Amino acid sequence: MPHRVAERLRPVRNHPWLGFAAGLGVFAAGFSLRYAAGATLGSVPFITLFPAILVAALLGGLRAGLFVALLSFFSGWYYFLPPAGSWAIRDGDKLGILIFFWIAAGIQLYVIEALNRAVDGLSTERDRAGVLFRELQHRVANNMSFIASLLRLQRKQVEARPERALSVFDQAQARLETMARIHRRLYDPQSADLPLPAYFEGLVKDILDAAGAKNIVCVVEVAPAKFDLSRLVTVSLLVNELVTNAVKHGLAGRDSGTVSVRLEHEAQNYVLAVEDNGKGMAEEPAASSASFGLTIIRSLAGQLGGEVSWSASGGTTARVTFPARLAPA
């Protein structure tokens, strides 16, 4: 039950002055009650002041609780420890009472602060889980549309060349499995805060393992960048297509090779470049090229608001340039 109370009071702690005000109110009531009791509570001079510390810490946080604790300590010392109206300490018992006050107040403040921190942490995780869930719903809807588009395009391939039906379905299966791996990686709590370079290294390793490219070395260089989940999914799918294309076509017929993946920040744009050291291509693919892989690459680049270009110099380099920030719709 205490954690539920602390969670409900969390919005109040965003306004510490409310904690100060409530703590001072309870302190005034406790002080008045203790003052009216007089010598009746002479052996426990601070007993009615501890609730004020508790309320202030719950409502205002550690600072408000500490402020009211100091106020309670000095007022209780001056008014309720004999001789009243004096700061004098004439025996060890009075010193012991003052020390006990800080032990009791310190325990109170420590417990309440630990409770507040735990509640804040749980609330933050719950909020983050809610955001991830909504983002997941959005991405699932978008990905279903993307998959439907892929299947429509691949249906046309089958209609044009029925003998390639099995190959087309194998490609579709591979792409769906890649999307599943990307989502598992993105929504895994253990990798949620993974730095982008480490994320890309793991992603590329998954792509090469899935392609069975055991002797391909991949170099990943990623500049500091921050993408929301939606753009990160699109960039991940784009990396998958470009790296797979480099392995299947640029390094075709070779036992080994190198693929480099770079993400750079140029002016107001990001540039994603995937380069292989294969045989290179004869010419840049035409914009009207009907290649299924190239169609997907252009579609993904378009989702990022960018463009893709190719060049050949001792290998093939695909560059996707897209804005660092999407223009408002």
Give the pLDDT means over successive 10-residue stretches in the chain (329 positions). Answer: 56 67 82 81 78 81 85 87 77 82 89 81 71 61 66 73 76 72 66 75 81 79 82 85 82 79 89 86 53 80 89 85 69
Check residue 46 and give its pLDDT. 84
Check residue 195 and give its pLDDT. 80
b/e per residue, 138-170, with b = 16+ CB within 10 A? Answer: ebeeebeebeeebeebbeebeeeeeeeeeebee
> Which pair of structure tokens corresponds to residue 228?
């929301």
> Which pair of structure tokens corresponds to residue 186?
């993105």
Check residue 329 and give its pLDDT. 40
Considering the four listed CATH numbers 3.30.565.10, 3.40.50.720, 3.40.50.360, 1.10.3330.10, the one that applies to the domain covering 195-323 is 3.30.565.10
Q: Which of 175, 176, 254 is nearest to 213 (CA)?
A: 254
Check residue 320 and give its pLDDT. 94
β-pairing, 257-266 vs 216-222, is: parallel
- 215 Cβ contact partners less than 8 Å away, ≥ 6 residues apart: 255, 256, 257
Residue type, 274: V
Check residue 8 and give its pLDDT. 64
Which residue ranges make up each domain of the chain? Answer: 2-123, 195-323
Check residue 129 and give its pLDDT. 66
pTM for this one? Answer: 0.52
Instruction: State whether the Cα torsion 178-179-180-184 is positive or negative.
Output: positive
Check residue 137 and give its pLDDT. 62
Check residue 80 and give its pLDDT. 83
